[in-house]
Amino acid sequence: MRISNREFLYLLVIKGVNDKGSGATIFGVAKALGVSTASAYEEINHLIRKGLAEKRGDGIYITEEGIREMNSLIRAHRVIETLLVKAGIDPDKACELAKMFDETLPEEVVEKLYEYLGRPSKCPHGREIPST
């Protein structure tokens, strides 16, 4: 089961802070996402229970598993986008539509589409399709 786009956004914010060398805080994440601290607290605890994030000395950090799950969602999203654009749908619309499937399309279907498309290295927006 892939992570949701909401989980992805939280992980993206946490990873962004971690990449700058420190742990994320509930307050900081809430502010970055424009949600209440209560919502951020709840969602971050959910991510910790799923093993996608963890508490360490100075705050919250994304785990290896969290990074892997982020890549899996990006891969699914970009493969679907590539397919839709190939079918004649405009890239921005394709991005919007891909969000309807990228969370739920099974891994093996994503891989079949990837092969079908001739193993593309980039999505229609020129962004890299991460490997599994």
110 and 75 Cβ atoms separated by less than 8 Å? yes
Comparison of 28 and 69: residue with beta carbon closer to Zn ion: 69
Comparison of 17 and 80: residue with beta carbon closer to Zn ion: 80
Query: Minimum distance from CB of 91 to Zn ion (Å)?
Result: 8
Comparison of 67 and 74: residue with beta carbon closer to Zn ion: 74
Query: Minimum distance from CB of 124 to Zn ion (Å)?
Result: 8
Query: Minimum distance from CB of 81 to Zn ion (Å)?
Result: 5
Measured in whole angstroms, how far is the alpha carbon of residue 4 from the centre of its chain? 7
Q: Using CA atoms, how far apart are residues 7 and 68, in angstroms rounded to an integer?
A: 13
Q: What single DSSP character describes residue 24?
A: B
Query: Minimum distance from CB of 77 to Zn ion (Å)?
Result: 6
Comparison of 51 and 130: residue with beta carbon closer to Zn ion: 130
Q: Using CA atoms, how far apart are residues 10 and 14, in angstroms rounded to an integer?
A: 6
Q: Which residues of the shown chain bind Zn ion in the complex (CB under 5 A)?
A: 95
Closest CA to 76 of 42, 124, 117, 111: 111
Closest CA to 72 of 20, 120, 26, 5: 5
